[in-house]
Amino acid sequence: MTESQRLLFAVALTVIYVIWVAILLWRHYRPKLSKTAIDQSTFLIAYASQSGNARALAEQYANDKAGEYPVLLTRLSDLSLSELTHIKRALFVVSTYGHGEPPDNGRSFYRSLQNPKNASLSLQNLTFDVVALGDSHYPHFCAFGEQLYQLLEKHGATAGAALTRLDHAKGETGKSAVFFATGTSNNFILDNRTQLNKTSETPLFELSFFSDRMSWEAGDILDILPANSELEVTRWLHNHNISPDLEFDFENQAWTAKRWLTYRQLNSPQTDTSPVASLTALPLNATRSYTIASIPEEKQLKLIVRQHKLDNGKLGLGSGWLTHYVTVAEQVKGKIKPNPACHIPALTSPLLLIGAGSGLAGIRAQLSKFTQPALAIKPSRIWLLYGERYPDKDDVLEQTLDTPIKSSTIRVDKVFSRCPNQPQYVQDKLVQSAKDVKALVDAGGQIYVCGSYEGMGEGVHGALLAILGEEKVQFLIDTQRYHRDIY
């Protein structure tokens, strides 16, 4: 490169960076919704969603309502209180995250609604409904939906109906039926499965599925409908004294008892006495989510799955099905779920990818995306912070990534929580590298975190709060520079 080409390149990079910062500031401070879009007849549908369920449901409601009203569909974080005062009819579709908290794209709205400065806000014009998504395995079931409902009432809005709670544990988020729709897009054929680490305590597997004609983006999720093992189905039939070959019709489809039970919740309480009634009373298994670990250009949809063992010694339903029971060339019922919160925009500013354990899935997908030779705009630097337990048995980073990570633009930090010499978690490494984290954020950088919520996700969030302060972290969330896929 000649000196003048280098200068031109530097100028171009600076211009792109200045434009990006301007866009971020505009996005953060602009009036969020177009006032012209709002009039007395507008039906507002606002969602807050961490991993896409509430968003998908809100989109479905928006489609249904579009024939009747001018519908305005928006993320809750894109709605301001003053805009809400102009709305007469609204539906809020919100999930609960963390320990009874709002999802990231609901936090700023929730804070404004609670802020004592807004105590005099009147929403008397507004009639609203809230559909709350949650999971009854969590102690604070649908807590954010409940809080939002109460706060809207406190500000004078009128509830159209009682709060609707949808329980993911009971398959109530409306997705299971889709797995039985005709069409191949919901069937994923297993091509290969390998155990990545060298331990039987916490085995971690990589699975590859054929992915012809499928499209997704790095950050997206595969929801699977787990099947029961043949052993569990046989045991249930034996305990209920029902023949596996018992035939019956359900919603115009012919079934045998054995086939019917493949996707049904076998631990549901039983009340009915007739064999067919006991069978048809069983709800479908609840779906399980897995971060997609590859990009479509790789021609395979990959997952990285931790085999989960329950206290009774059995395998977890979803991870057990994927890592043990399903065999190569067999079908997994699944659906790709877009997760826009983790679609990291391609910018020249630096990118910090943090992941531990099965969170390697998200790291792998993002790294594949950002190191594609054909990608025109790339982060100037990528910093990869990866955590596992034992350095000798669990260090699966290099073998999992197709991308060479020995590069001048990629920094790799590996930490191991059970390393005899230097036990460390990713959050410890972050605190230790506080200066670098600040510099990355000051340079307009983005942060992506993938892995379990407890321990890693919470720890990383705490470390970022300690390093950057609450206001900055909230700013990063609001301006979509802090992307969290934690579960």
Ligand X SMILES: Cc1cc2nc3c(=O)[nH]c(=O)nc-3n(C[C@H](O)[C@H](O)[C@H](O)COP(=O)(O)OP(=O)(O)OC[C@H]3O[C@@H](n4cnc5c(N)ncnc54)[C@H](O)[C@@H]3O)c2cc1C
Residue number, 416 or 482, with CB nearest to ligand FMN: 482
What track of x and - describes contact with ligand X for positions 187 through 216 (by CB under 6 A)?
------------------------------
For residues 418 and 247, what is the distance between their CA atoms, to the nearest angstrom? 54
**Nearest residue (CB) to ligand X, 316 versus 391:** 316
Q: How far is CA 299 from CA 185, 210, 214, 276, in A?
A: 15, 7, 9, 43
Helix, strand and coil content of the chain, in percent to the nearest 5, comes to 40, 25, 40
d(C-alpha 456, C-alpha 458), whole Å: 6
Q: End-to-end distance of the chain based on CA atoms, in angstroms?
A: 46
CB of 70 to ligand FMN, least distance (A): 25
Q: Which amino acid is at 199?
A: T
Please tell me whether residue 335 binds ligand FMN under the rule CB under 6 A: no
Closest CA relative to residue 479, chosen from 22, 55, 18, 25? 25
Does residue 336 touch ligand FMN according to CB under 6 A? no
Q: 304 is in the binding site of which of ligand FMN, ligand X, none (Cβ under 5 to 8 A by kind)? A: ligand X
Label residue 181 exposed, middle or buried (CB < 10 Å: 0-12, 13-18, 19+): exposed
Cβ of residue 199: shortest distance to ligand FMN, in angstroms? 25
Q: Of these, 157, 166, 221, 341, which contacts ligand X (CB under 6 A)?
A: 221
- The single residue among 45, 52, 361, 362 that binds ligand FMN, judged by CB under 6 A, is 52
The alpha carbon of residue 364 and the mean position of all alpha carbons in its chain are separated, in whole angstroms, by 16
Strands 204-210 and 300-306 come out as antiparallel
Nearest to 320 by CA among 226, 198, 221: 226
Q: Quick one: 257 or 473, whose CB is closer to ligand FMN?
A: 473
**CB closer to ligand FMN, 28 vs 137:** 137
163 forms part of the interface with ligand FMN (CB under 6 A): no
Say what the alpha-carbon torsion angle 21, 375, 185, 293 is, to the nearest 10 degrees: -80
Q: Examine residue 387 and tell whether it contacts ligand X (CB under 6 A).
A: no
Q: Which does 306 bind (CB under 5 to 8 A by kind): ligand X, ligand FMN, none?
A: ligand X
Cβ neighbours of residue 117 closer than 8 Å, sequence gap 6 or more:
none
The closest of 447, 456, 452 to 486, measured between CA atoms, is: 452
Binds 318: which of ligand X, ligand FMN, none (CB < 5-8 Å by kind): ligand X
Site string for ligand X, 360-379 (x = CB under 6 A): -x------------------
Residue 99 contact among ligand X, ligand FMN, none, beta carbon within 5 to 8 Å by kind: ligand FMN
Residue among 38, 74, 86, 100 that touches ligand FMN (CB under 6 A): 100
140 touches, from ligand FMN, ligand X, none (C-beta below 5 to 8 Å by class): ligand FMN
- Nearest-angstrom CA–CA distance, 466 and 472: 11
**Binding to ligand X by residue 51, rule CB under 6 A?**
yes
Chain positions 424 to 443 lying near ligand FMN, rule: CB under 6 A, are none
- Report helix, strand or coil for 204: strand
Contact string (CB under 6 A) for ligand X, positions 121-160, x = contact: ----------------x-----------------------
Work out the angle at residue 75's Cα, subtended by the Cα atoms of residues 69 and 78, and round it to the nearest 5 degrees. Answer: 105
Binding site for ligand FMN (CB under 6 A): 49-54, 95-100, 103, 133-135, 138, 140-143, 168, 173, 453, 486-487
Q: Which residues of the shown chain bind ligand X in the complex (CB under 6 A)?
A: 51, 137, 221, 267, 288-291, 304-306, 308, 310, 316-320, 358, 361, 485, 487
